[in-house]
Amino acid sequence: MTDATVLSTTDPRVVRAIELIWREAELLDRKDYTAWNGLYSDDGLYIIPIDPHTDDFANTLNMVYDDARMRQMRVTRMIEGYAIAAVDAARTVRTVSRFVPESVSDDEVVLRSAQVLIAYKRGRHDIWAGDLVHRIRLSDDGADRIAQKVVRLVDSEEAVPAAGFLL
């Protein structure tokens, strides 16, 4: 792991990772969940932990802990309209910023960032905020993929309402 104090967001590998994260945010706001799922590596994980301090996601309770199979099931529920949350889904606009590289290599970039999401549904705006960690697997052919995304909601230990969208 490289010392984070010398890592730069202008490193071309970091730029590629940031652009992938922004693409992910845009796909989620457009509700293009099939394309979103395609951004993940076959072994990629999408995680929303309850404990704001845990790194042992496999052995702690999470709001979401999706591997490829679970992500596909979630996408199917969102796009087929059987889930009430999907039928009456909120419109969202999210901003992902404050990128801080944790580690950078020719194969992988790990970035911390902040996300603020505004959801609008039935005349009401809700704010969802959290810290993100993306582990981006770089590819020589430019087909970079998300190997892991962790969303640490600022209010993860409180009662969180059903979202009807993906974070």
pLDDT at 121 over 90: no
The CATH number of residue 50's host domain is 3.10.450.50
Q: Which helix (H) or strand (E) holds 22?
A: helix 12-29
Mean of pLDDT over the chain: 91
Overall pTM surpassing 0.75 (yes/no):
yes
Query: Total structural domains in the chain?
Result: 1
Is-contact 97 107, C-beta < 8 A?
A: no
Within-domain flag for 108? yes
Is-contact 26 95, C-beta < 8 A?
A: no
Within-domain flag for 74? yes
Is-contact 137 111, C-beta < 8 A?
A: no
Within-domain flag for 85? yes
Residue 86 has what pLDDT? 55
Within-domain flag for 164? no
The domain in which residue 17 lies consists of 4-153
Within-domain flag for 52? yes
User: Mind listing the pLDDT tens digit for each residue in 29-61?
Assistant: 999 999 999 999 999 999 999 999 999 999 999
Within-domain flag for 42? yes
Kindly write down the DSSP assignment for every residue of 33-64, as one continuous string.
HHHHHTTEEEEEEEEEESSTT---GGGS-EEE
Confidence of residue 7 (pLDDT cuts 50, 70, 90): confident
d(CA 16, CA 87): 34
Residue 156 has what pLDDT? 84
Within-domain flag for 163? no
Within-domain flag for 158? no
